[in-house]
Amino acid sequence: MLDYETLRIIWWLLVGVLLIGFAITDGFDLGVGALLTLVGKTDNDRRVMINTIGPHWDGNQVWFITAGGAIFAAFPFIYATAFSGFYLALMLTLMALWMRPIGFDYRSKLTDPRWRSLWDWALFAGGIVPSLIFGVAFGNLLLGVPFVFDDMLKVTYTGSFFALLNPFAILAGLISVGMLLLHGSTWLQLKTDGVIRERARFLSLVLGVVTPVLFILAGLWLAFGLDGYVITSAVVTDAASNPLHKTVVAESGAWMNNYAQYPWMLVAPVLGIVAPVLVSLLSIRGRSGWAFIGSAGTLAGIILTAGFSMFPFLMPSSSHPGMSLTIWDASSSHLTLSIMFYVALIFVPIVLGYTLWSFWVMRGRIKEQDVADGHGHTIY
């Protein structure tokens, strides 16, 4: 059996893998939905766009559900505290996500342009709102979340919903929107042709520059304008989880410390900067497949940067830094992590396998004539 410290690190990595898997697979769904009213100028344009994600979106949701389940089971303190602090934000996210299956199902029930336009805007909201909120949430994690525990480890959130909408968190939200729109635009390059592909190609050129600029700005802000968190007491990596047994201080630029201590972590921010620029260059050359891989690399680099910067913190507390949650004191028991590890060894490859298989089966471009004639995989 693996020791407790190793299992905690493994589950930190696995949750990161699941979040990246969700961002790469469901990210282009969200991006296409958010671009529906911008790239799609006619009803047929929008039907083509919807049919590029129609065969995949529900399967891609598995990554989201699995990531949520993994956080619940592996880091229950994080799950409980997040739902206390981000409850309204999470409810808004869920309500926006509900618009997708409803919109996909009901949009084409009637041919009335006003009916279809209504659902097009609902699908837009289902793409843009989660994209923004996910980024805002990560921004607030880097700032620290206002919560405290009592002696019985009951959590109390001491902030407000509107306090989450601070300048840095909004910048993080814009980065999230930018990278997911970039991912959606490269997906449209890969899966469509004609005027839709050209519009998506132009957007990829723009977003491939805007996204790294915003990412660099956030990095400079973290390095020189915001406090990070540092554990100053002895770190016990194999004790029972209890977030009350440590001392933490806030220091300016502390989120950069890991890059000095572990230089190999720099690969993440470098990827987050270089990959979107490559997407722009590849889009110019019409290499849509490689552009899509580049946008996936962008998502991985940006998410990994947030994780590497915060390690070992998972949810710092701005109200009482010593009560911050880390991978060493917010996890489930040794036995629980052990059982889950072997379950994950079986089921994560299965999820990955059928995801790749579905992409292979549904390969090829969706054309306007296919939608008009109902050929191929077109159903919406």
Mean pLDDT of 228-250: 93
**Could you tell me the residue ranges of all domains in the chain?**
4-373
Burial (0-12, 13-18, 19+ Cβ within 10 Å), 59: middle
pLDDT of residue 377 exceeding 80, the answer is: no
Check residue 5 and give its pLDDT. Answer: 94
When pLDDT is cut at 50, 70 and 90, the band that residue 84 belongs to is confident
- The region that residue 75 occupies, defined by phi over 0 for left and psi between -120 and 50 for alpha, beta otherwise, is beta
pLDDT given for residue 190 in this prediction: 92
Mean pLDDT of all residues belonging to the chain: 91
Residues 257/250, Cβ–Cβ less than 8 Å: no
pLDDT value at residue 374: 63
Mean pLDDT of 215-230: 95
Q: What is the pLDDT of residue 362?
A: 79
Q: What is the pLDDT of residues 86-136, one digit of tens each?
A: 888 889 998 998 888 898 888 888 889 999 999 999 999 999 999 999 999
Flag whether pLDDT at 379 surpasses 90.
no
pLDDT at 257 over 60: yes
pLDDT score of 31: 94
Cβ-contact 67, 47 below 8 angstroms: no
> By CB neighbour count within 10 A (0-12 exposed, 13-18 middle, 19+ buried), where does 172 fall?
buried
- On the question of pLDDT at 44 being above 70, the answer is yes
Distance CA 108, CA 306 (A): 40
Question: 202 is written with which tokens?
Answer: 């132009």
pLDDT of 170-204, one tens digit each? 999 999 999 999 999 999 999 998 899 999 999 99
